[in-house]
A and B are shown apart, each in its own frame.
Chain A
Amino acid sequence: MFDGYTSSELMSIFAMQGFAGLSLFSVFVLMALGLTIIFGQMGVINMAHGEFMILGAYTTYLTSGFFQSYLPGLFGGYFFVAIILAFLVCAALGALVEWLMIRHLYHRPLDTLLATWGLSLIMQQAYRSIFGAREVGVDLPDWMMGAFQVTDMVELPINGLFVMIIALAIAVGLYLLMYRSGYGKKVRAVVQNRPMAEAVGINSAGIDRATFALGCGIAGIAGAAFTMIGSTGPSSGQAYIVDTFLVVVFGGAQSVLGTIVSAFGISQAQSTMEFFLSGSMAKVLTLLVVVGILMIRPEGLMAVKVRR
């Protein structure tokens, strides 16, 4: 397929393709991190993860509308405010959901699955009633549109770079939180041995709520970031949820590092195959490989070794 192209053209395309793979990687990381820490901590599979992301997107939409109406001078910077708001709104709703619903269902994984799925339907319908069934367009400040012209052929989309930076920041922040803070120590203790952690005085219910809120908050940030590249509508969250589960399960459902490795593997495989095959076939092949590896390693790539 490369007949008739000069080597410099090919180099540029490969550079851009590498960038495409990396930006897919950061999208996957953003999607999956929130889900991973919730699952790792509490064994709860949050089927409403996609809807929390869309809540973040709608928060961004409302923030952008607010800035346009009342603070047009600061519109260029509204996105940073929106990200923080998206985190807070989603985390608050997450804490509420944990308190009302999830905490009554611990140790009943199938019931949490159903309950959070029901929650996702309720949230979708709520969006439809509040914002209308049509997708909303989120206006972006001018500086976030367009691309960096690196060479004549190589253009790097600014929003792709931006998503990468957010993903990196959250991954680093999460690492510091989990491995360098008192809260993180408690979380890891609860994950490894809940009764023992409780016996030494860790408030595991409080840790659970904080973790659920944190996971939902990260979903909100992801949703805010995705307004740059995707659609914002009542059922847009559904588009992300399958990939998210794929990444989390493949990575070994409880390991943050595993999630990142798995996101990298899947994104590179997919974007490379997409380049040589049609998009649908690339997806099929990626799924086949993942299924094959999971048959050999049912725990996923990096399972946390825990004594059971």
Chain B
Amino acid sequence: MGTTDIIAIERSFEKGLNFRKSLMALAASFMLASAVQAATPSTAEVNTTGLAVTDDTVTVGILHSITGTMAISEIGSVQAEKLAIDQINASGGVLGRQIDFVQEDGASDWPTFAEKARKLLRQDNVAAIFGAWTSASRKAILPVMEQYNGMLYYPTFYEGLEQSPNVVYTGQEATQQILASLDWAAETKGAKTFYLLGSDYIWPRTSNKIARKHIEDMMGLRVVGEDYYPLGHTQFNTAINKIKLKKPDVIFASVVGGSNVAFYKQMKAAGVDFTEEDPLLLTISVTEDEIRGIGGENVEGIYASMKYFQSLDNANNKEFVAAFKEAYGDDMVIGDVTQAAYLGPWLWKKAVEKAGSFDIDEIREEFAGIEFEKAPEGYVRIHENHHLWSKTRIGQAQLDGQYKVVFETEELMEPDPFPEGYQ
């Protein structure tokens, strides 16, 4: 059963493979050129810890769910990571070596994630792992990464409160995503009262804790309600009635998964037109990917706070979107996490080249300050706490399922996984 699915997914990647072939050809010509310029450093020099590095290849691992309930979210990340690897190979690889990858399926099951991470590190000796999506899967992998000293590049925006020497967090942590958007709602939209609504697990709860502290203590405004529903909950009529009774200026929503679809459809059915912004809905959990399942007509007018939207107007992003569609088809949409996953291989390449070595301990020393100017989101830099400096943006959902960017922070937001005063 698993195999048929993998075959089907591989088939859908066929376009990508053709793309890869043409890139390979391009890469070969590049390599000829670079071989003339400088000899690649010897393997003994760049790999002292027995990683899977040869004179012309280096092997990395990709570890996401391509089967099971999380496949819906994680497939975009797999696609982005493969695209980045292809592009890096086409431009000459890393320290003169082409990247091979071993892909494992976490199957939406957290113990499986740990098992596969162990396999990638111990059996395949991969130089880096790009993977995990939910916090639960990351937490399952974490002890393995620390025990065998691997390095995980984790793409999802998440709740913070973590800083492992064996993880690089390429998505935003909670304060980056939340604080600027609340300030924006108060300053631009004159919001005074907030209603916090989320699915019942660690990420929404932590996010709302931060949001509540910020609203009440820093902004001096009011939270008029806070409500959680079990994951997979599909009946939001009561929640909607409570919101109607409280009449908040802003609904701050962190509902996830299938519940998202139910929530927005039922809001719409209850006569709420988000374009009227009464109340205004601000979410941290609906990317372009989710809108495909919810339907653009059901979310038109909501605001989302993310670091990346597919519609971002800059040269890097245009190139990225074009390459992504070229590889995987024109009907693809790219959400925040997909872009963050794309950053992983590039940041790893930069760190390796700065360190002049594939060794994990050497790379770790070099992370702080590494910049990626070609990031689709514009520009990112690694903070010494292994998170990224990035801008926060607010987009308004359009009927066609894309976001129109209406606000972006002037400065890069500092990642602060252990925010003082917010715990």
Give A residues with C-beta under 8 Å from B.
Answer: 5, 9, 13, 16-17, 19-20, 23-24, 27, 121-122, 125, 128-129, 132-139, 145-147, 149, 153, 155, 157-160, 226, 228-236, 238-240, 271, 274-275, 278-280, 283
Contacts and interface: CB of A to CB of B under 8 A. Distances in A.
A149 B271 CA distance: 9
Given A24-B235, A160-B269, A240-B234, A137 B292 contact: yes
Contact of B200 (A13, A24, A279): A279
Contacts of A16: 241, 244
B227 A278 contact: yes
Contacts of A153: 244
Given A228-B265, A279-B229, A20 B258 contact: no
Residue among A16, A226, A238 with the highest chain B CB neighbour number at 10 A: A16
B293 A135 contact: yes
A141 to B, nearest CB: 12
A13 B238 CA distance: 10
B261 A135 contact: yes
B294 A280 contact: no
A147 B270 contact: yes
Given A134-B72, A135-B261, A158-B269, A280 B230 contact: yes
Nearest to A136: B293
A239 B262 CA distance: 11
Contacts of A158: 269
Main secondary structure of the interface of B (DSSP, over half): helix
Contact of A155 (B8, B227, B239, B270): B270
Contacts of B392: none
B265 A133 contact: no
B311 to A, nearest CB: 19
B8 to A, nearest CB: 4
B234 A13 contact: no
B266 interface: yes
A157 B239 contact: no
B230 A279 contact: yes
17 contacts: A16-B241, A27-B235, A125-B1, A133-B71, A135-B294, A136-B293, A146-B271, A158-B269, A230-B265, A238-B69, A239-B233, A271-B235, A275-B242, A278-B226, A279-B230, A279-B239, A283-B230
Contacts of A238: 69, 232
A305 B306 CA distance: 59
Interface in B207-238: 226-230, 232-235, 237-238
B237 A128 contact: no
B268 interface: yes
A135 B228 contact: no
Given A24-B235, A157-B266, A280-B200, 4 more contacts: A134-B292, A139-B297, A239-B258, A275-B238
Contacts of A134: 72, 75, 289, 292-293
Nearest to A144: B269
Nearest to B2: A125
A138 B226 CA distance: 30
Contact of B234 (A5, A121, A229): A229
A122 B1 contact: yes
B242 to A, nearest CB: 6
A263 B294 CA distance: 27
Which of A16, A145, A279 has the largest count of B CB atoms less than 10 A from its CB? A279
Contacts of A234: 69, 71-72
Contacts of A147: 269-271
Contact of B69 (A13, A160, A235, A275): A235
A157 B269 contact: yes
B72 A135 contact: yes
B238 A229 contact: no
A234 B258 CA distance: 11
B402 interface: no
A129 B239 contact: no
Interface string B378-403: 00000000000000000000000000
B265 A280 contact: no
Contacts of B257: 231
A128 B5 contact: yes
B372 to A, nearest CB: 28
A164 B230 CA distance: 24
Contacts of A136: 292-293
A139 to B, nearest CB: 7
Interface string B1-13: 1101100100010
B16 to A, nearest CB: 15
B296 to A, nearest CB: 8
Nearest to A9: B245
A13 to B, nearest CB: 5
B68 interface: yes
A233 B4 CA distance: 18
B1 A236 contact: no
Given A134-B289, A157-B270, A17 B230 contact: no
A234 B66 CA distance: 13
A149 B381 CA distance: 52
A134 to B, nearest CB: 5
The 3 closest A-B CB pairs, nearest first, are: A135-B293, A231-B261, A20-B237
B268 A275 contact: no
Most buried by B among A20, A133, A236: A133
Contacts of A133: 66, 71-72, 75
A50 to B, nearest CB: 11
Contacts of A27: 234-235
A129 B5 contact: yes
Nearest to B266: A229
Among B12, B69, B262, B294, the most chain A Cβ lie within 10 Å of the Cβ of B69
Contacts of B8: 128-129
B268 A231 contact: no
B293 A125 contact: no
B356 interface: no
B67 interface: yes
A229 B262 contact: yes
Given A24-B235, A133-B75, A235-B68, A280 B260 contact: no
Nearest to B65: A133
A251 B66 CA distance: 38
A121 B227 CA distance: 32
